[in-house]
Amino acid sequence: MTTVTLTNLRRVFSDDFVAVDDMSLFIADGEFLTLLGPSGCGKSTTLRMIAGLDAPDAGDIAFDGKRMNDVPPGKRNVAMVFQSYALYPHMTVRRNLEYPLRKQGVSKAERSARGEAVSDLMQLRELLGRKPRQLSGGQQQRVALGRALIRNPSLFLFDEPLSNLDAKLRSYMRAELIQLHKRVGKTMIYVTHDQLEAMTMSDRVAIMDKGRLQQLGTPQEVYNRPSNLFVAAFIGAPTMNLIKGGVDGVGEEMAFRAGALHLAPPSTFAQRTGKLPQGAQVVLGVRPEDVLLYCGNLAAFVTLIEPVGHETIIFLDVLGHQIVARTDAQTRLRQGAAVNVAFRMENVHMFDAADGRRFA
Amino acid sequence: MSRGWIAIAKKTARSFGSWIVVLIISFPLFWMVVTALKPRVELLQIPPTIFPRHPTLGHFADLLLRTPFPVYFLNSTFVALGTTVVVLVVGTLGAHSLARFRYPGREWMARAVLFTYLLPHVVIVIPLYLLVAKLGIINTPFSLIFTYTAFALPFGLWLLRSFMSAIPPDLESAALVDGASRMEAFFDIILPLALPGILTTALFTFILAWNEYLYALVMVSKDLNKTLPVGVISLLTTGFDVDWSLLMAASVLMSLPLVILFGVLQKHLTRGFGTGGVKG
């Protein structure tokens, strides 16, 4: 039973680089939370502060409401899996697994019993006598997971644990980790820059950029209602179409204008956004799946076609704007073809062009 | 076919070359051993005998039983081991600090350490002598341990620092999360992984302390506190007379510890000299 509370965390590195700033977060017991963001966004630093490997310059870290700032990492009862796996190269697999128990002063008999239980669980039986360098990447990963599991910690921390695996093994290990979370039911915090991992594994995703929390929500929430331009552009592949333009008309009459492109958002839109001043600069966001082909009245032509297999990505020129659409694999469109398109207006997003905030 | 012959010829030529170098380098050592085993009458014979006609261990017996050689040997052992221990303790901890922790003046300090290594030893004889005299340890083995530490530590710090920098920081982080204290992580993870560097440093320090002459001559004048290089010279060379037989017997005994050390540590040393042989 462990909840994690971060309050206004801040970490500044010696060269005045603010790695994490004003980070506040509550992670519920048994939750799988992912810290997602581009490299250098502060997600790993946040994780290291939770582990106790890095000390915050300001703010508090609490487990179950108890302040943890001054508790050394070994006494926080957390387990951490590193991107490099961080297996001790001079120790056998068995000694790697038993190391945390050794440091807790667990008796030899119990150490070897628990070591064997974990090695059965992670299918490491035959490898117990080997050194890490004699193992494949996938096997090293399983040893690292086993070493995290063996001490029965109250909190699991993962720092990009799948980044060093090849694509096939990665999707397999993703499923394994989801299973593991279901089985042990412990709170897990997972750091990644891979949105696929974040979307498929997490209960909630915390998206970070430039040291700050950008949005916190379920994978559906961050995908369907990105709270700002950064999240909108970061989540989704291919990325959301973002069209810079101005607001024309007020209230029910509101329209969006960008060059030759002229769109009338549905009336519900105005209710959500409230009153936008005439001429306000905004960015309209349209997901590739919300670009409908063969309907509507926007004239477009195809500039590029990317067949992905199960679907086809189509690059369009819509009245001078580069727009990406997603359609099924059977499309008969060819490069250069003219086609009419429409945007599914009830799904479009609108952001303030000045500060990137979401209007609706 | 012909290519195979060329490869074999090349290999033979290369090993032939190596053997010639080995022979040239080892001849003085061979001559030292042979001289130590020759009876005095055979020593200056012309033409010289390559192998002693009547080999004897008498010179070794004389040296060990009738001279203070064993005392010098113990002094040297004490000084060399003492210096090695001090250099290793200070060097590993200091190098770890220089490799891992961030604090103002770290790089400056690391470079200053290297700078001290640039000064020729003979330049600082007088300041070091005054320092040692002030500390009240002049004429004792501790004065030499103190001095040799000052010479060996900069090299040790630099070598160990590069070894420790090559160890992935994640390993230490993992140990800390796994419940180790900082010192435990240092002993469990860093020391075993830096072992080749530690052995190289240890050997370098030991050899320096074992062979050093100038400071041993300056700092220690009391006969029973002398180390081997100074003791043996003052014992066996008097005026114009050099007792070659005893001198060579002493040289054989003096080089034995180093030969044994090299033999035992050879495997680790080849890794140590090719710095950075730690794989994460």
CATH code for position B101: 1.10.3720.10
Distance (Å) from the C-alpha of residue A263 to the closest C-alpha of chain B?
Answer: 53
Instruction: Provide the pLDDT for residue A273.
Output: 66
Look at B177 and A53 and tell me if their CB atoms are within 8 Å: yes
Cross-chain residue pair A84–B181, CB shorter than 8 Å? no
Residues A226 and A256 in one domain: no
The percent of residues in chain B predicted with pLDDT above 90, rounded, is 60
Of residues A176 and B241, more confidence is placed in: A176
Examine the domain organization and report whether B28 and B116 are in the same domain: no
Q: Judge whether A146 and A119 are in contact, CB under 8 Å.
A: yes
What does the block give as tokens for A353? 């062009």
Say if A23 is an interface residue toward chain B (CB within 8 Å).
Answer: no
Chain B within 8 Å of A79 (Cβ-Cβ)? yes
Last residue of a domain, one of A198, A233, A268: A233
- A261-298 confidence digits (pLDDT tens): 888 877 667 666 666 777 788 899 999 999 999 988 88
Give me B44's structure tokens: 């200056």
CB count within 10 Å of CB B118 equals 7
- State the pTM of this model: 0.83
- Give residue B277's pLDDT band: very low, low, confident or very high (50, 70, 90): very low
Strands A78-81 and A155-159: parallel
Q: Is residue B134 part of a domain?
A: yes
Contact residues on chain A for B189, CB-CB shorter than 8 A: 88
B150: pLDDT strictly greater than 70: yes
Domain boundary among B56, B80, B101: B56
Domain holding B48, by residue range, is: 2-56
How does the average pLDDT of chain B come out, rounded?
89
Co-location of B117 and B242 in the same domain? yes
Count of the separate structural domains present in chain B: 2
* A345 domain-assigned: yes
Domain housing A314: 238-352
Least CB-CB distance to A86: which of B174, B179, B184? B174
Residue A220 has pLDDT above 90, yes or no: yes
Residue A277's pLDDT is 74
- On whether both B47 and B137 belong to a single domain, the answer is no
CB-CB under 8 Å, B173 with A79: no
By C-alpha distance, the chain A residue nearest B171 is A86
Please give the pLDDT value at position B182.
93
Please state which of the ranges A55-69, A177-191, A264-278, B123-137 shows the lowest mean pLDDT.
A264-278
Is the domain of A100 the same as that of A45? Answer: yes
Q: What is the pLDDT of residue B279?
A: 40
Tokens of A339: 């086609």
Higher pLDDT, B187 or B242: B187
Residue B273 pLDDT: 54
- Considering only A210-214, A264-268, B27-31, B152-156, which range has the smallest mean pLDDT? A264-268
- Cβ contact (<8 Å) for B180 and A79? no
At residue A176, does pLDDT exceed 60?
yes
CA distance readout (Å), A216 to A160, A203, A207, A341: 19, 11, 6, 33
> Do residues A224 and A327 both lie within one domain?
no
Q: Which of A251-260, A266-275, B165-174 shows the highest mean pLDDT?
A: B165-174
> Could you tell me if A93 and A123 are in contact, meaning their C-beta atoms sit under 8 angstroms apart?
no
Whether residue B207 is contained in a domain is answered as yes
For residue A277, give the DSSP letter.
Answer: P
Q: Is B136 on the interface with A (CB under 8 A)?
A: no
Contact criterion met (CB below 8 Å) for B85 and B206: no
- Backbone φ, ψ for residue A89 (5° rounding): -65, -25
Using a CB–CB cutoff of 8 Å, tell me whether A74 touches chain B: yes
Average pLDDT, chain A: 91
CB contact under 8 A, A133 and B192: no
Q: What is the pLDDT of residue B234?
A: 86
**Together in a domain, A227 and A255:** no
Are A304 and A277 contained in the same domain? yes
Q: pLDDT for A315-332, tens place per residue?
A: 999 999 999 999 988 888
CATH of the domain at A275: 2.40.50.140
Average pLDDT over residues A253-260: 83
Closest chain A C-alpha to B171 CA, distance in angstroms: 5
Q: Identify whether B122 is part of a domain.
A: yes
Complex prediction ipTM: 0.86
Q: Does A357 reside within a domain?
A: no
The C-alpha of B275 sits at a distance from chain A's nearest C-alpha, in angstroms, of: 17
* Nearest-angstrom CA–CA distance, A313 and A294: 15
Domain count for chain A: 2
Q: Any idea which of A343-347, B142-146, B264-268 has the lowest mean pLDDT?
A: B264-268
Within a domain: residue B278? no
- pLDDT level of residue A83 (50, 70, 90 thresholds): very high
| pLDDT value, residue B43 | 82
Q: Give dist(CA A174, CA A201) in Å, integer.
A: 7
Q: Check B170 against A52: CB less than 8 A apart.
A: no
B136 and B33 within one domain? no
Same domain? For A82 and A20 the reply is yes
Is A263 found in the same domain as A210?
A: no
Does the structure show a pLDDT above 60 at B276?
A: no
Q: What pLDDT is recorded for position A76?
A: 94
**Does the CB of A72 have a partner CB in chain B at under 8 Å?**
yes
Q: Is there a domain that residue B279 lies in?
A: no
Which chain A residue shows the shortest CA-CA distance from B194? A90
The per-residue pLDDT for A274 is 67
3-state class of A208 per DSSP?
Answer: strand
- Cβ contact A89–B280 (<8 Å): yes
Contact: A72, B181; criterion CB under 8 Å = yes
Query: What percent of chain A is predicted at pLDDT more than 70?
Result: 96
